[in-house]
Structure 1
Amino acid sequence: MKKIVGIFAFSLLLHASTSTTNTLTLDQALQLLKTKNLEIKAAKFDELSAKEDIDAISGKNWGKLTFTQDIARSNDAGNVFGFKLASREAVFRDFGFAQFGSINIDTPPDDLNYPGYKSFFQSKLKYEVPLFTGFMLSSYTDIMKKMQEMKSLDKSKIKTQKEYELKKSFYDMALLDSSIKNLNRILDNINILENTTKTMIDVGYAKKVDLLEVKAKKGNVERLLVQMNSNKKLLYHYISFLLNQKVDHIQTPAAEVAMPGMSDEEILDHNVDLKKAATGLKITKDMLSASQAAYYPTLGAFGEMSTADDTFLGDADKHKAYTIGARLSWNLFDGGIDAAKIEKSKIQKLKMRSQVELAKKGILLKIAKIRTEIEGVDVEIASLKKELDLANAIYENYEGRYKEKLVSMSDVIIKQSAQIEKILQLQIAQNKRTEKILALEKLANGEN
């Protein structure tokens, strides 16, 4: 018996867990969005890629270690003599000393000019490091860091956009549910009116045309309900697309979307586009520094170790050689090319500064426009709610008067049409308000 009770309790718990999982709240959806949305994932990869660019530039400060293995076979006089010198195996015979004393001094030495074939294996390890680059490497490292910051802001902007779309879908679903509920209530009233009309026809107080008018209006309401239910299915498809998983039931927000309590300055502080513009301005400053590096000399050092023989690593320790050195390079004149590049960088910096100011004024204009539109929609919604209450009261009044044969069915249908029209107008206005508030929130990078 205990086992049966335990199994039953586990089944209830599992069912409750499944139900909770299938009913997705807005907060849960927003958390899923961060990890599941494919566009946000792609933006994260762009951010990681930008980090690798930083490492690639920073790595140049550590220099470069290369290993070279040469394998050759030649009877070219210069090559053969060079091979022997590199292998530390040159002898006097190589200079033609074997022919001295028996020939004229102007006679070409055969051992030097016509050597036989020689194999050559040289292993070389070389390390090169930049000591001073005129601040170019540090400038490009800073640029790459700013580019990573830019990619991070791009990711933040995509995330904010997707959060906006997800929130709007949830609030649209709530408004659709509210409208469907109101239309179903009207449909119930029409069904009651239809039955009343049939009864009145039976006793001779109504005509068949009255019933046809009721059925026509009923068909119109049913058509609207089909449209709204289709819109709900489309919203579920879109939410599933945003979350990259199947979603078939959500818990709609109970309250209307709240008006952001942020000031204009706070919105500007959070705005991603302004942050991107400010980062772009910093990049132009770093680009100017990179251009000015052309006026400085560059200094690098290197160290090299090698060994050579006619076999691979033959007598490696005996034939080893070392070289260390440094190189200073300074471009003293290039026809004014560097100066032109620096002037161009200065112009780009001034242009970017103007764009930052323009972006700020543009955002302020958007904020003012949205706030004004929200104020207008709030007035419209308050008025439509009163008009809907009046339309409901008038319809109920005309429905009662029809039963008393004081008005015609056409009068009742007209009042019901006005009632439905107000419901649809209210939904449109509420949708508009939600969209505007979420747009204002989006300007603040999703902060509310």
Structure 2
Amino acid sequence: MHMNNFVLKLCVMLMAIAMPSVLTAQQLDPVLQELIQKGITKSHQLNSNRIDAAQAQVDQQLAKSVFLPKITLNGSFTRLNDDITFDENTQNLLIGTQKLLIKDAVGIPFNTPFPENIPLTDVPNLQNKNILKSSVDLDWVLFSGFEATNALKASQHKETSLNYVGLAEKDKVALQIIEAYDKLALVLASKKVLSTSENYLNEQVFYVKKAIENGLATPISRKKIELAQQQLAGKQLEFEHNNILLVELLHQLTGEVKANLRLLNPELQSFSVPEASTSEKRHEIKALEEAEKATLYQVKMEKSNFIPKVAVKGHYEFIEDDLSLLDPQWFIGAGIRWNLFDGNQSRLKSKKAHLESQKYRDQIEDAEEMIVLSITKAELTYQAALQNTTIVEKEIELASDTYEMVNKQYKNNLASINDVLDALNDVEKANFKLQESYFNERRAVADLLHAKGILTY
């Protein structure tokens, strides 16, 4: 292979690496999008958040259930030591009254003794000693003093807050996977650069071997080439290790099969920030605002403890025979409960919830300030990365031209083998720097879009 043809192929490869097509942040690699969705599904933190949101939904159902009637079936058996009866004087009075009524009914004079052939009814017990009861109770809250209503609204805002927390966590998962995916692309790009360097060195080995045979070079030149090959082998081993670690990381983040991850071949492509992209409120801010609203409704819920509550109470006994003479078989009524003083518990709980809302307000203001700072930092980092890319592209051009020139000089005995290897090393370094610059560009854009609340995946 002629050296000029090889250099021409190298330049074509470098141009393909150095000039990738520009993607907007909304146009992620479909493979990467699929990995992000798998990571979102696998995330233990997101699964825990979903459970918390489901618990908030249950709290809402509990608040609503306050207004549903509660129906309770009761059953019991009791045995007293004896029947409960009237005292002896009261029993005599009731028997005497019964005799007078009978005399009056049959027309017997008042002073005439009571006939013995007329039976008398025994005085019933106030309560038999064997008591079997079966009943149903109804309890129905008609008005809770807005306590249940405020509890419902607090739970609704809590659920919304947890949903926003989940969206914020999704962004974090997406950023982690995007970064790991880009690192894999960077490692694979380094493999291309190492492969190019290996081809260079093989060409030099062939040339040095011929030069030694013709007495134009010494074995020292060959040893220097062999050292450069060993150094290259060390870099290739480092590539293999980095590749294994990134596959493990992506497997941990997404749950994707390792064999499939080893088949990935991502390429670094620049992200461009959409012009005049406006910021949207971050999910973290929305979550804090909803949590603040939830605590404010909790304050109202505690204060509503002093508003009168209205409820309906009903009771029905299925077994009438075992009821005492004073027990009704059924009753229904409405009542009011007005808590006038509860030992300051409601007031203190309300104060505690209000302090909690103030804490959320401080967190919101702090988060907004940090977001403004992160936007500025990401914009500056992106601009620096773009400038660095332009510089590195010039470095690649200069390094390639220098290598070509030094290589020609070496073949004409105008330069040493060290000069050739140094020039080759400069080409290799410049290409690594370019891939790192693209990697930094993508990190800055992803961070900027995340800071602005417009990251999509």
TM-score normalized by the length of structure 1: 0.78
Please state whether the residue corresponding to 2:66 is helix, strand or coil: helix
- Is residue 234 of structure 1 aligned with residue 234 of structure 2? no
Q: Partner residue of 1:105?
A: none
Aligned match for 2:425, one of 408, 417, 431: 417
- Is residue 220 of structure 1 aligned with residue 234 of structure 2? no
On the 8 A contact 2:193/2:432 being kept in 1, the answer is: no
- Is residue 400 of structure 1 aligned with residue 408 of structure 2? yes
Give distance in 2, aligned partners of 1:38 and 1:362: 27
After alignment, is 237-246 or 372-381 more displaced?
A: 237-246
Q: Partner residue of 1:58?
A: 64
Q: Partner residue of 1:250?
A: 264
Please state whether the residue corresponding to 2:313 is helix, strand or coil: strand
Can you give the 5+ residue segments of structure 1 that lack an aligned partner in the other structure?
1-22, 82-92, 102-110
Shift in Å, 1:344: 4.3
Give distance in 2, aligned partners of 1:123 and 1:73: 15
Q: Partner residue of 1:330?
A: 338
Report Cα offsets for 1:259-314 as digits up to 9, x if no partner.
35564xx4342x11111111122112212211221331222221122234789xxx
Give distance in 2, aligned partners of 1:49 and 1:334: 29
- Is residue 259 of structure 1 aligned with residue 273 of structure 2? yes
Aligned match for 1:376, one of 376, 381, 384: 384
Shift in Å, 1:140: 0.7
The structure-2 alpha-carbon separation of the partners of 1:325 and 1:31, relative to structure 1 and needing over 3 Å to count, comes to same
Query: Where does 1:25-424 land on structure 2 (aligned, <5 Å)?
Result: 25-75=31-81, 80-81=83-84, 95-96=87-88, 100=92, 118-246=129-257, 247-248=260-261, 249-253=263-267, 255-261=269-275, 263=277, 266-269=278-281, 271-308=282-319, 321-334=329-342, 336-424=344-432
Give distance in 2, aligned partners of 1:430 and 1:309: 88
Q: Partner residue of 1:437?
A: 445
Give distance in 1, aligned partners of 2:369 and 2:398: 44
On the 8 A contact 2:39/2:253 being kept in 1, the answer is: yes
- Is residue 447 of structure 1 aligned with residue 456 of structure 2? yes
On the 8 A contact 1:24/1:250 being kept in 2, the answer is: no
On the 8 A contact 1:38/1:244 being kept in 2, the answer is: no
The structure-2 alpha-carbon separation of the partners of 1:129 and 1:290, relative to structure 1 and needing over 3 Å to count, comes to same
Give distance in 2, aligned partners of 1:144 and 1:56: 10
The structure-2 alpha-carbon separation of the partners of 1:45 and 1:184, relative to structure 1 and needing over 3 Å to count, comes to same
The letter for the 1-side match of 2:73 is F
Shift in Å, 1:406: 0.8
After alignment, is 335-344 or 161-170 more displaced?
A: 335-344
Shift in Å, 1:415: 2.0
The letter for the 2-side match of 1:214 is I
The letter for the 1-side match of 2:333 is G
The structure-2 alpha-carbon separation of the partners of 1:55 and 1:306, relative to structure 1 and needing over 3 Å to count, comes to same
The letter for the 2-side match of 1:446 is L
- Point out the structure with max Rg over C-alpha: 2
On the 8 A contact 1:307/1:320 being kept in 2, the answer is: no
Give distance in 2, aligned partners of 1:243 and 1:337: 48
The letter for the 1-side match of 2:32 is L
Give distance in 2, aligned partners of 1:253 and 1:329: 71
Identity value in percent: 19
The structure-2 alpha-carbon separation of the partners of 1:40 and 1:99, relative to structure 1 and needing over 3 Å to count, comes to closer
The structure-2 alpha-carbon separation of the partners of 1:162 and 1:346, relative to structure 1 and needing over 3 Å to count, comes to closer
Q: Partner residue of 1:107?
A: none
The structure-2 alpha-carbon separation of the partners of 1:258 and 1:119, relative to structure 1 and needing over 3 Å to count, comes to farther
Shift in Å, 1:383: 0.7
Give distance in 2, aligned partners of 1:281 and 1:42: 21
Give distance in 1, aligned partners of 2:31 and 2:344: 64
Shift in Å, 1:96: 4.5
The letter for the 2-side match of 1:433 is E
Give distance in 1, aligned partners of 2:79 and 2:403: 106
Shift in Å, 1:342: 3.9
Give distance in 1, aligned partners of 2:404 and 2:440: 29
TM-score normalized by the length of structure 2: 0.77
Q: Partner residue of 1:16?
A: none
The letter for the 1-side match of 2:375 is I
Count of residue correspondences: 394
Shift in Å, 1:421: 2.5
The structure-2 alpha-carbon separation of the partners of 1:226 and 1:49, relative to structure 1 and needing over 3 Å to count, comes to same
After alignment, is 389-398 or 190-199 more displaced?
A: 389-398
- Across the aligned residues of Structure 1 and Structure 2, the Cα RMSD in angstroms comes to 3.1
Shift in Å, 1:203: 1.0
On the 8 A contact 1:25/1:251 being kept in 2, the answer is: no
Give distance in 2, aligned partners of 1:295 and 1:277: 29
Shift in Å, 1:335: 5.6
On the 8 A contact 2:403/2:423 being kept in 1, the answer is: yes
Please state whether the residue corresponding to 2:256 is helix, strand or coil: coil
Q: Partner residue of 2:20?
A: none
On the 8 A contact 1:160/1:445 being kept in 2, the answer is: no
